[in-house]
Structure 1
Amino acid sequence: MTVQSCVKIRNEWDIVAARQMGRNVAKELGFGTVDQARITTAISELARNIYLYAGTGQICIEELGDYGKRGLKVIANDDGPGISDIRQVMEDGFSTSGGLGAGLPGVKRLMDTFQIDSSSEAGTTIIAVKWVR
């Protein structure tokens, strides 16, 4: 059975709630403090992107168990305008908000797997997984 918890993202406090949920699940699964920080940083970036670019959406955390391995899946989805050029937003240094441009490429580096699906009709879904070492 898959355990999934979600936080709706509508304001900045929801970003904090999503981060805290991720940290709690990561701690329960046995992630060390460095990986807990990586996971919460990734969640924070994904939630902030939902808030800034889509307005609303949700962050869901799923516990994973596969052949004795344990991990955590982060699913960020929204019904926003979508990402017009995924290749561009995945370039280090690219920013539409005037930030450092570490956003999605940073999330990809922090997690073990990273997948993005986006369209103007359906919004954006990003799935990132981290396994306990």
Structure 2
Amino acid sequence: MELQSCVKIINEWDIVAVRQLGRNVAKELGFGTVDQARITTAISELARNIFLYAGQGEVCIVKEHQNGRNGLKIIAKDNGPGIADIRRVMEDGYTTSGGLGAGLPGVKRLMDEFDIQSKLHEGTEIVAVKWLR
């Protein structure tokens, strides 16, 4: 792990700020516009989930260097209610907000690596990585 920048998610403007940060880091790393859009969408979805379900948390953008590859890692953390049924939220079409967002399955599809850890009443941490091709 190299450079890490985090944005506290407290209101909707923070979602905009972390999206912009992610897009800038993706551009800096050399991602094309399509992958920049994928990364930005994933960040937006994760930040929005923190805002909607946990009230607050943070999203960190990390420049990742591993085995000669470069990538961008998103770490979304909160101390919210946690996710009772991870398998269920990972089903396509599952929504609790009634929104049409990509949801967590969408984030998983947009990124190359995806991991979710959640404990009830303690919070959730989601780590997603996109590798430069």
TM (norm. structure 2) is: 0.97
CA contact (8 A) 1:9 1:56 kept: yes
* 2:63 corresponds to 1:75: no
Residue 123 of structure 2 is matched in structure 1 by: 123
| RMSD over equivalenced CA pairs, Å | 1.0
Which residue in 1 is equivalent to 2:7? 7
What residue number does 1:60 align with?
A: 60
Residues 93 and 101 in structure 1, CA contact (< 8 A), matched pair in contact too: no
Structure 2 counterpart SS, 1:20? helix
Name the SS of the counterpart of 1:125 in structure 2.
strand
Q: Give the whole-Å Cα distance in 2 for the aligned partners of 1:9 and 1:93.
A: 25
Aligned length: 133
4+ runs deviating over 2 angstroms: none
**Match of residue 44 from structure 1:** 44
What's the % identity of the aligned pairs?
A: 74
Cα deviation code 1:30-60 (max 9, x no counterpart): 0000000000000000000000000000000
* Gaps in structure 1 of 5+ consecutive residues: none
Secondary structure in structure 2 of the residue aligned to 1:105: helix
Q: Which residue type is aligned with residue 130 of structure 2?
A: K
Which consecutive unaligned segments of at least 5 residues does structure 2 have? none
Task: Give the 3-state SS of the residue equivalent to 1:94 in structure 2.
Answer: coil
SS in 2 for 1:108: helix
TM-score (norm. length: structure 1): 0.97
Q: Deviations over 1:45-79 (max 9, x none)?
A: 00000000000000001101122210010000000
